[in-house]
Structure 1
Amino acid sequence: MPARDFQRSAKMKLSCPRDEGKVDNLWQCAVPVSKPCQYPASVICSEHERLQLKGNKTSCNGQLQEEKGGTWVVVNNNKNSPDDRCRQMHCGTAVNITQEKNSLRLKCTDRVRVVLMDQDKESRCYGAVRVQINSSSSAVCGTTWTKKEAEVVCRELECGT
């Protein structure tokens, strides 16, 4: 598929040659499709930093931590812009940054939390899982949902297991 067709196509699937060394750009493998995408593709590259803010009920205010080898460790330097870090965590932009002894505390503009909905009403410990950013919320896709994800939600909401 030529690059200009790749830009115009709303949906596509990939069909890359077996020899990975011959492909430099995704558009070289793209083939347009007319069916809706049931399972959107995603990728996590080796240079990606998993970040979290720990210490408050809202996930956008607290001590900055990053995942290293499956363990959360405190970030004690500000090598990246606070705005970039807030955006990476889907928390808007930075409002306040504080350097403490061996850690960095960050407060971002957005308020993000998990809510459970029973029909159209918020429920305490059961219901459809939604992520609320400020005053709007979106349903969480259950395509790859497992007990592990359910346990994370219950723990975050202090609702047992």
Structure 2
Amino acid sequence: MKNLGLCCLLLAAIGFQSCKDEKANDAKATAKAEKPISVNCYKAFYENDTIDLKINTLKDGKISGNMVMKMYAMSEKVGTIEGEFRGDTLYADYSFTQGKNDKAIFKNPLAILKRGDTLVLGNGKIETYLGRSYFAKGEPIDFDRVKYKFLAADCVDK
């Protein structure tokens, strides 16, 4: 009888978790299907490196978009960004695949400062906890000594 109660409790917990995951997936699908109120494209160059960034501003103020990083002597990184502006700084997560390995998805935090018509990709100390990377609390993000400054560019659909 005791084992039957534990089994029922376990099945109920699994059922609640699957409903929670389904709701989260539905919310993500709705956000992706939402039509942006504005679309802006940017390009950054540093030596032989190029970054293409497309930012979609959604109705609720959230940001989505795409970013392609082409670094010299490294595999190309292709992925999406999701985040929001806090003041003049975009805080986002960059989920990407690298090279031909499309099975492994990496995720890094981004901080991009808007200065006039340019965007500046900040550098900061990144920590990882339980498989999630984030900027270290209490550590400043540097927007002055940086490699990548984005300039407005024409959006090109590929």
Give the shorter-chain TM-score range: under 0.3
Could you state the TM-score of these two structures normalised by the residue count of structure 2? 0.26
Tell me which of the two structures has the higher relative contact order, counting C-alpha pairs closer than 8 angstroms and 6 or more residues apart: 2
* Higher-strand-fraction structure: 2
Could you state the TM-score of these two structures normalised by the residue count of structure 1? 0.26
